[in-house]
């Protein structure tokens, strides 16, 4: 999926992410709390998700409010628990989006971490996020004459009633 956030100037910022799952009507993903996206979500806890399936020519857009997992929920994140030792070392060493001089710097940091954590690697600032949708829009190609169909489901509050609307493609 594509996750879009906004920086302190309101400038959009998008990146590809993995969606862990959808549970209780909320989209769940994870990242570093100190990454650019983590800082942006802390300052402006709203985001948009975009899913595209080329094979079926379908798009789903989601917009909503974002909330961090609790520490207990983060500790139970399956991707963290399943990661290999190398993946966990990578997560410990690599500081997303920080400026580096070259790959040698990362290789040296990995060697140091391997020596420091031979058996287990502590979790750094990894956390999970819930995105509770306020709008979900579906777009799909349907025929040569009508071209496409767009449906939007929206609500004003996370606990509010959904409103369904058909939009012009």
Domain boundaries, the chain: 2-75+126-167
Per DSSP, which regions of 2-157 are E strands?
Answer: 2-6, 12-16, 21-23, 26-32, 46-53, 58-68, 126-141, 148-154
In tens, the pLDDT along 114-140 reads 999 988 887 777 889 999 999 999 999
**Is the Cβ–Cβ distance between 2 and 14 less than 8 Å?**
yes
Read off the pLDDT of each residue in 99-119 and give the average, rounded to a whole number: 89
Cα separation, 115 vs 162, in Å, equals 54
Find out if CATH 2.30.110.10 is the number for domain 2-75+126-167. yes
Q: How confident is the model at residue 75 (pLDDT cuts 50, 70, 90)?
A: confident
- For the ranges 29-33, 66-70, 80-84, the lowest mean pLDDT is seen at 80-84
| Secondary structure element (H or E) that encloses residue 83, with its range | none
In tens, the pLDDT along 31-41 reads 888 899 999 99
Residue 8: pLDDT over 70:
yes
146: which DSSP letter? T
Helix residue ranges per DSSP H, the chain: 36-43, 71-75, 78-82, 85-93, 103-116
Cα separation, 169 vs 164, in Å, equals 15
Rg of the chain, C-alpha, whole Å: 19
Q: Which residue has the higher pLDDT, 26 or 106?
A: 26
Q: How confident is the model at residue 153 (pLDDT cuts 50, 70, 90)?
A: very high
Give the residue among 49, 47, 89 at the shortest CA–CA distance from 68.
Answer: 47
How many alpha carbons fall within 13 Å on the CB side of residue 92?
22
DSSP SS3 for 54: coil
Across the chain, what does the average pLDDT equal? 89
């Amino acid at each position: 999926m594509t996750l879009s956030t906004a920086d302190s100037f309101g400038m959009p910022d998008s990146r590809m992410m993995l969606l862990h799952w959808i549970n209780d009507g909320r989209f769940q993903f994870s990242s570093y709390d100190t990454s650019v996206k983590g800082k942006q979500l802390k300052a402006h806890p709203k985001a948009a998700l975009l899913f595209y399936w080329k094979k079926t020519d379908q798009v789903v857009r989601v917009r909503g409010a974002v909330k961090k997992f609790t520490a207990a929920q983060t500790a139970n994140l399956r991707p963290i628990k399943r990661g290999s030792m190398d993946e966990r070392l990578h997560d410990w060493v690599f500081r997303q989006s920080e400026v580096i001089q070259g790959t040698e710097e990362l290789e040296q940091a990995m060697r140091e971490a391997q020596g420091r954590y031979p058996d287990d690697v502590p979790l750094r600032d990894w956390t999970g996020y819930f995105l509770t949708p306020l709008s979900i829009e579906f777009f799909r190609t349907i025929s040569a004459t009508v071209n496409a169909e767009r449906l939007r489901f929206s609500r004003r509050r996370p606990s509010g009633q959904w409103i369904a609307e058909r939009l012009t493609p």
